[in-house]
Amino acid sequence: MNMKKIIQEELGQELENIGFHYVSGERLFWPYEREKDGIRQEIMIARDRYERRYIRVIFETNAYGQRPKEFRHFVPEEGAKHWEFWGFENEEELREILREFKRLIFTYGLDFLETISKPATDAVPTREKQRYLYEHHQELYEKYQEELGTEGKGAEEVINILNQKIEEILDKPYTEVEDVLMGFAALYGHTICWGENGEWIWSEETGRCEIDKILGTKVNEYVLNLVTGEWDYWRKHRDKKTRGLTGQYKSIATHYYIAHPEERP
C-alpha cells in the first residue's frame, strides 16, 4: 500500500490548494507545511511505531511555547475527542479515515492552527536578551553570585536559592523581571557547569544563547529559556512541586557520574 500516494490523493491535494506543501518526512510521518505571517504551520499524518495500520493527525507551529496537538485536544465532537490513533484494515478504510481527517481539518483544524500560531505566553526571551546573556554571562554570574550570597555554596543549595528568588517575583509583570531572570540564568548556567565546565555558544540560526557539553557530557541547555519558562509556569499554575531547574541539574549530574562513578558522592 502506497501511503504517500493515498494521503496525497485524499488530503494532500486539498492542503496544497490552501498553501501547504509536502515536505520529506521519515518512514512514519507525512508532513505538510506552510508559512503564514512568519510562522511555520504543519499538519502531519503520523503512523504508530508498532501498529502499521494506526494513524493520527498532529498539528504544530513554531510559535513560542506552543506544543503539538491532536484532534482529541480541541475537536468538540465525541467521535474525535477520545481517539488518539485511528485504525484501518485495508485501503478503502484508510481512504475513509483520511476523508474524515480532511473534514475535521477544514472544520476545526485550520482555525486551531491560527490559535497555536500565537506565542503561548508573553514571557518570550528576545534575541537581544539572548545575545546579551551570551556576551555578558560571566559578569552577570559574578553580580548575582554576590547579590544572592551564593559564593562557596554547592550547586543544589544555589539552585534552591534561585527557586526561592523566582517565587518572590511571580506577581510581577514579565517586562519588570526579564533582566532579573537573565541574571538568574547566568548564575544557574555557571552553577550547573560547576564553574567553567561547559561551552557558552551563540546560535545565529536560532538567536539563542546555549551551553553545550555541560560537565563534559553531551547535554546542552538554553538556560534563559529554561529559567524564564520555570518562572512563567509557576506564575500560571502556582505549582511549587514542579522544580524544573533542580530536576535538570540532577539529570545532568547523573550523566556525569555515570561517566565518572569514582567521583560519585
Report the pLDDT value the prediction gives residue 70, as an integer from 0 to 100.
95
| pLDDT > 80? residue 83 | no
pLDDT tens column, 61-78 = 999 889 899 999 999 988
- Rounded distance, CA 72 to CA 68, Å? 12
In contact, 139 and 190? CB cutoff 8 Å: no
In contact, 72 and 81? CB cutoff 8 Å: yes
Query: How far, rounded to the nearest angstrom, does the alpha carbon of residue 73 sit from its chain's CA centroid?
Result: 18
| pLDDT > 90? residue 79 | no
Q: pTM for the complete prediction?
A: 0.73
CA–CA distance from 169 to each of 181, 230, 235, 236 (Å)?
A: 10, 12, 9, 13
Query: How far, rounded to the nearest angstrom, does the alpha carbon of residue 72 sit from its chain's CA centroid?
Result: 20
| pLDDT > 70? residue 242 | no
Q: Which residue has the cell 555554596?
A: 153
